[in-house]
Amino acid sequence: MTIGARIYAVIGLGFLGLLGIALFDSRELAAGLQDQRKLELRHLVDLAIGIVKEEHAEAQAGRISTADAQKRAQARVGVLRYGNGDYFFILDDKTRLVMNPLRPEMAGKDMSDFKDANGFRFYKAFAEAVARDGNGYVRYDQVKPGVTDPQPKLTYVAGFKPWGWAVATGVYIDDLDEQAWAATRKSLMIAGLVMLITLVVSVLMARGLVRPLKAMTSAMKELAAGRLDAEIPGVGRKDEVGAMADAVAVFKTNAIERRRLEAEQHEAEARAAAQRKADMV
């Protein structure tokens, strides 16, 4: 492999490294954004659970009946809104809908067989998460208002054992993918720009290295062929190429000196032979 090819190979490996880093950062960003969204949902549900606990405490103190406390809790949680009109809903431990402010007509309905666009029983998954761990996150696909295709949605659900309730809220997370992809595009653009600059600089450096080496190789071939008048390129440079050129120049000087000495020796031998012939006459 030539020196130029090796330089370009190193550039290619560097670009692959930058690409790998950009993609890894994108995955890390996507995971970080989702973790942040999970934390936000948990805090929101904790707020709603706090309201339920307040009403439960009122009932426990005997100031109101349990039925009235539950109605008040449903009403207070039902009016909560955040984000883009996002809301809370409540299930019981039989996967029946206790309260959904957007679908009041479905109160008391068994939701265990309710499926998302992919056939996933997400209400059943809510109940299973609460029964198993007391809370949990469930991801599923649902049609988003204003969008034709189902979009990914993340819901956090937490149980309230005294009443057998599960309070939940969810948000669409398609924007997380968009944010991650936007960051990935930016990283790829930066990596491409760095690659372009590196390529231009490397090409110039490669040419500055390869051309004098080729010229020096040609000069050495001429010297080896006996053409001692060949010009040595790179003499005087303050780098490795210059050091090589100086070494070749020394070789040239020695070759010229050797040729001069050989010529002088031949002349001396010729004079001696001529003198011997003259002495014999």
Q: Do 90 and 126 belong to one domain?
A: yes
Q: Do 48 and 169 belong to one domain?
A: yes
**CATH number where 221 lies:** 1.10.8.500
Rg of the chain over all Cα atoms, to the nearest angstrom: 42
Distance of CA 152 to the CA centre of its chain: 22
Report pLDDT for 27.
Answer: 72
Report pLDDT for 216.
Answer: 74
Cα 253 to Cα 258: distance, rounded to the nearest angstrom: 8
Q: What is the pTM of this model?
A: 0.63
Q: Point out the domain boundary residue: 156, 174, 192.
A: 174
Report pLDDT for 3.
Answer: 65
Cα 281 to Cα 273: distance, rounded to the nearest angstrom: 13
- Residues of the chain predicted below pLDDT 50: none
Cα 234 to Cα 238: distance, rounded to the nearest angstrom: 9
| Residue-number span of the structural domain to which 222 is assigned | 181-280
Report pLDDT for 34.
Answer: 83
Cα 177 to Cα 248: distance, rounded to the nearest angstrom: 62
Q: Do 169 and 258 belong to one domain?
A: no
Report pLDDT for 179.
Answer: 76
